[in-house]
Structure 1
């Protein structure tokens, strides 16, 4: 099929079975490589869902302006779609972002706003959102997709991404949580249509999505300083939380031993999927890999950067011990079956 534009190339990403002795004997782990989307990220899916809904409802028009806060990947996707559908894009970022991503936005014609003041938690997420709100007031008719709370985010994944997941020979799906959009959209579809599949959330130490406090962490594109409206814990069966060190170590192992170069959130998800397989009756799981390690060659894969952040990579034996003995988070105990 010949696509009418690059946006039609979003989705239908490949799945690879990971063969490694970190996986419990007799069990299987599949990697859903969502970095095969045009901008090498699952956020292409989220962006097309948000943009198409806004265009259909008249909230965004050709020639108009879209403004969004992002820690990286969504900015690429929205910038690309601005070029495809003819609207202006302003991306609000913070100093944690890779310099290569900033060049990426600008190559698509987007404008970039950098916030430098940390919020009360020591992070930048609320500062970014406050700047978005200011810019929306400055640009008459501007549209803020608000990936955190906009139901168009999980709705798109419910009707689209979930079809690719439920078709797999699995009994569990593991994904990272930040806004909650892609995993909880998929999770709701699973609970509605194939409830035997378990949905496992992965988060980073320091995130306040499932815990009451926030402390800064290194990985981009995962975690938040709060729990967004799109994080629906009623569709989650378990949660695993891992450190920056563990996630980044997993990234290096997969790159060096399997030729699979993934981003930090992907390392987090694989680590969580392995812990789930070790500590449950699950026989086969798919880990949704949000993005590629190419985005982080000057960060997680750079020796000087690792040294500057005091990150020592765990060897295979130590990584295996961390994975096998990790306990799931207790936040789901006694939960109510409601959207949070």
Structure 2
């Protein structure tokens, strides 16, 4: 008899066949939306809980308190219900109404911060609130996806094994906490040093350098670089604007039947940029979650219009990628 835990992992890979993919090159997508809660965070949550139980940091029947922008909270709430833990998720106003109902459906407590931190984001405010709650309930466990080495260690030891069975030149993924991409990258490189890694982030995030400024995408980027982000495993980096990531989501839904989240659109577009501007022939891109989480935002015409986003169609996206290629070639010619 299987438990819901047993359905986590072993997600499918498909090849994206679309005119935006350069001729004679390949882009593969690993669809993490096939996890039970529709995201890669199911893996992260499971690893954090398993490691905490083994180390005695989390007691059977205890409580988990975590800061989340969306998906990790869903995963912890699901596992809390399945494994008998109490769960409190600390969120901010950017969280979708569907995510809030998702947490509550599993019986999790929701605690929302309303004041942004000094950078204008909410991540540090959420963490400060987690620490306040831990003082009120000192026996509770904080997984701390940002700085807990159990996060990348689990992905290195477990998730990376799924990526070893495919043939590709570059692994592409987004950075936020850095846990899944750093862990998978470390695991892959330990088996095959020739595999390169592309780290993708949203414009406005400070993870890969620069100062923070607000952006629209949820579940990607941070106002700082967490200790779980290990830059030494990243061979390439690409920064993507909100409009290109959101446009990519819309395009993949309408032209390929793939309903993906904003971070997935970001990774797919960044992977296309690398294919267009380098001699890389094949990329396996991690698609972190499903677009069902964002039907009332990224896929809602009114929301997109209110945020000032102009959706780019295939022609405009191809023009941008071609211009990027021309700029890259010009830089190389003058190097």
TM-score (norm. length: structure 2): 0.95
Deviation by residue 1:146-201 (Cα, 9 ceiling, x = unmatched): 00010110011101111111211111110000000001101111221111111000
CA contact (8 A) 1:115 1:127 kept: yes
2:80 & 2:150 partners in 1: Cα distance?
18
2:324 & 2:165 partners in 1: Cα distance?
29
1:163 & 1:283 partners in 2: Cα distance?
22
1:153 & 1:22 partners in 2: Cα distance?
34
The equivalent residue for 2:330 is: none
SS in 2 for 1:174: strand
The equivalent residue for 1:146 is: 144
The equivalent residue for 2:83 is: 85
2:281 & 2:270 partners in 1: Cα distance?
15
**More helix by proportion, 1 or 2?**
2
Residue-pair matches, total: 325
The equivalent residue for 2:329 is: none
Equivalent in 117, 134, 137 of residue 135 of structure 2 = 137
Q: 1:1-340 to 2 correspondence within 5 Å?
A: 2-3=1-2, 5-326=3-324
2:130 & 2:324 partners in 1: Cα distance?
38
CA contact (8 A) 1:275 1:324 kept: no
2:256 & 2:79 partners in 1: Cα distance?
33
Q: Which moved more, 1:303-312 or 1:37-46?
A: 303-312
State the 4+ residue runs in structure 1 displaced beyond 2 angstroms.
321-327
What residue ranges of structure 2 are gaps of 5+ in the alignment?
326-335
Q: Which moved more, 1:246-255 or 1:51-60?
A: 51-60
Q: Which moved more, 1:315-324 or 1:184-193?
A: 315-324
- Calculate the aligned-residue CA RMSD, in Å: 1.0
SS in 2 for 1:261: coil
1:122 & 1:319 partners in 2: Cα distance?
30
1:53 & 1:101 partners in 2: Cα distance?
26
